[in-house]
Amino acid sequence: MKAVKRLFDFPYYQLENYPLKDALVTKYNGQWKSLSTKDYIAQANALSRGLIKLDVKPNDKIAVISTNNRTEWNIVDIGVMQVGAQNVPIYPTISEEDYAYVLNHSESTYCFVSDDEVLQKVLKIKDDVKSLKAVYTFDGVKSAQNWKAVLDQGQDESLQDEVQKRMEAVSEKDLATLIYTSGTTGRPKGVMLSHKNITSNAINSATRLPLDYGTAKALSFLPVCHVYERMLQYMYQYSGVSIYFAESLETISDNLKEVKPDVMSAVPRLLEKVYDKIIAKGADLTEIKKALFFWAVKLGLKYKPYKANGWWYEKKLGLARKLIFSKWQEALGGNLKVIASGSAALQPRLARVFNAANIKVMEGYGLTETSPVVAVNDERDRGFKIGTVGKPISDTEVKIADDGEILVKGPQVMMGYYKDQEKTDEVLKNGYFHTGDIGEIDAEGFLKITDRKKEMFKTSGGKYIAPQIIENKMKQSRFIEQIMVVGEGQRMPAAFIQPNFEFLEEWAHRKEVDFKDRTDLVNNQQVIDRYQEEVDFYNQSFGKWEKIKRFELTAEEWSIDKGHLTPTMKLKRREIKAFYKDLFEKIYGPQS
């Protein structure tokens, strides 16, 4: 049995150990279409041969931009790397200007795109990218070159010996991919990840996956251009897990019921939305059903793993699972064994209530620069602790610097930033990657993240504010969809709040609040007073210097498309502050 050393080894390992009929499954025109492990490899080889005919050389960069995860992405990924070239995945939602920057900075020679919308964005800047020779589409788009043209060129099997030679020349230490961080500040940085970086991470993370190898199904919907979902897909291939690609974020609930997956990944924002929808449905129930529902939720919010609450709690929890929580599981397909949560901090109450409902949400931690997993919870062997991101995975050393910063050493730590030695030297010191996150390791070896070093700030009084802690607490309110704490160098912390408009509008109708539109709504004094009650309630958890003294409500929803959020739904703090400069000045006065 060959060891997996390079990323393109994963499908071959799967063929040898868990050959699947449905290795990759995508929905086309309402029908799920499967690709077997054998055909996956055959198509990847055809693509490799086609790329050689297109004169793609080792170390050429090939960009891939897709609005959704799909079979074609994986075929291109393997096909590109087999010829010694590197895959440069690009977020579809970034601006045309950033498209041009990434394509130019990486000197990409070819680009594969999913659909006409992405194609048009690329065509607008194509003349500004001198290295770019051609663009191919996955969807059939009139007057565009289809990716099947490359596959057709690769039907000439006489080139397979050349593919084999190219594969053999690739070492595990070689660059596999350039991943441009979406970044909450400044230009994207090209993170250089080697084959060893990601393969080691996939193999070491697989030990934390409580699934039956060779039979399980995964639903994939987080962007595969992000290293988190991408690494998971290699891990699924290694574990013989069939990968079903969700059509979009809007269709997830339907896709869950159709696929009935055993595993999926999620970001906390998605879990928050799922929870809010469940609570909203519970609020609409009739008296006895409603009382039972909220009894179960209240019980779930007190959940502790490993029966730490005692036998009487467990007896009541068993009843709650039977009467209420079983319906939550059914809504998620009925088979989910685990949800891997990453990319941002998960509110402990969500970890409690989902796990109480027997929906195993296991939080982990990592960064693009660490390929990405550093630590992750695993319910087995007492490896799960709510409020932490679990214990470090194998071969990974984590230590806490004197200032609280988390430092990481291991095979998953990046090679560096592409064409940027200065920034590389800032974060890679003495063999450790300096994460920019603040954390602590408890007596049992669990890692806890407390804040982003770069996001912490001081007020003019010299007091430190950790915004994420305050934001996560406040987001427990059903009235609050998003919140950003501000106040660096100011006399007190304040916040911009994006209301949960669905809930707020329903509340406003019940309270007979008269409004024409959302701008009218957020400026209504009765609404502002109600938000003040929410802020006052959650402020009780904080020290005097940390309490939110002022806030302003925003009339629009914060989104990826409008530039408020990164593609993994983190706050783009600099952009949000710029968007709401007038609200900032309303709170603190004109800024010189």
Q: What is the pLDDT of residue 328?
A: 95
In this structure, of 3-7, 270-274, 580-584, the range with the lowest mean pLDDT score is 270-274
Mean pLDDT, range 398-425, rounded to an integer: 96
pLDDT at position 249, please? 82
Q: By the 8 A CB rule, do 535 and 553 touch?
A: no
- Please report, as a single letter, which amino acid is at residue 82: Q
Q: Residue 125 belongs to what H/E stretch?
A: helix 116-125
370 band by pLDDT with thresholds 50, 70 and 90: very high
What is the distance between the alpha carbons of residues 272 and 275, in angstroms, rounded to a whole number?
5
The pLDDT > 90 percentage for the chain reads 82
**CA-based torsion, 140, 251, 342, 576: positive or negative:** positive
pLDDT at 424: 96
Query: Which domains, from first to last, does the chain contain?
Result: 8-263 (3.40.50.12780), 457-588 (3.30.300.30)
Q: Using the 8-state DSSP alphabet, how is residue 378 labeled? A: B
pLDDT of residue 270: 86
- What does the pLDDT read at residue 183? 52
Residue 419 DSSP code: T
Q: Cis (ω within 30 of 0) for the bond into 372?
A: yes
Sign of CA dihedral 152, 157, 162, 168: positive
Pairwise CA distance, residues 321 & 333, whole Å: 16
pLDDT band with cut points at 50, 70 and 90 for residue 456: confident
pLDDT, residue 184, reads 47
pLDDT in tens, 206-224: 999 898 899 999 999 999 9
* Residue 569 confidence class, pLDDT cut points 50, 70, 90: confident
pLDDT at 355 (0 to 100):
97
The alpha carbon dihedral of 79, 82, 88, 90 has a sign of positive
**Read out DSSP for 145-165?**
EETHHHHHHTT-GGGHHHHHH
CA distance 225 to 221: 11
Mean pLDDT of the chain: 94
23, two tokens: 């290795």
Beta strands in 327-414 (DSSP E): 338-341, 361-366, 373-376, 391-392, 397-400, 405-409
| Cα–Cα dist 50/42, whole Å | 12
Q: Is 146 left (phi over 0), alpha (psi -120 to 50) or beta?
A: beta
Per residue in 497-532, pLDDT (tens digit) is: 999 999 999 999 999 999 999 999 999 999 999 999
Beta pairing, strands 86-89 & 190-194: unpaired
> In terms of Cα–Cα distance, which of 55, 47, 62 is closest to 110?
62
**Do the Cβ atoms of 190 and 103 come closer than 8 Å?**
no
Q: What is the pLDDT of residues 153-198, one digit of tens each?
A: 999 899 999 999 999 999 999 999 999 986 545 678 999 999 999 9
Residue 27: pLDDT band (50, 70, 90) is very high
* Assigned token pair, 517: 């539109």
85-114 per-position pLDDT tens digit: 999 999 998 888 889 999 999 999 999 999
Residue range 575-583: mean pLDDT, rounded: 93
Handedness of CA 546, 549, 553, 554 (dihedral sign): negative
Per-residue pLDDT tens digits for 264-310:
999 887 898 889 889 989 999 999 999 999 999 999 999 999 999 99
Question: Can you name the residues that pair with 263 across neighbouring β-strands?
Answer: 218, 338
Kindly state the tokens that stand for 28. 């086309």
Given this model, what pLDDT does residue 434 score?
96
- 3-state SS record for 10-42: HHHHHHHHCCCCCCEEEEECCEEEEECHHHHHH
First-to-final CA distance of the chain = 67
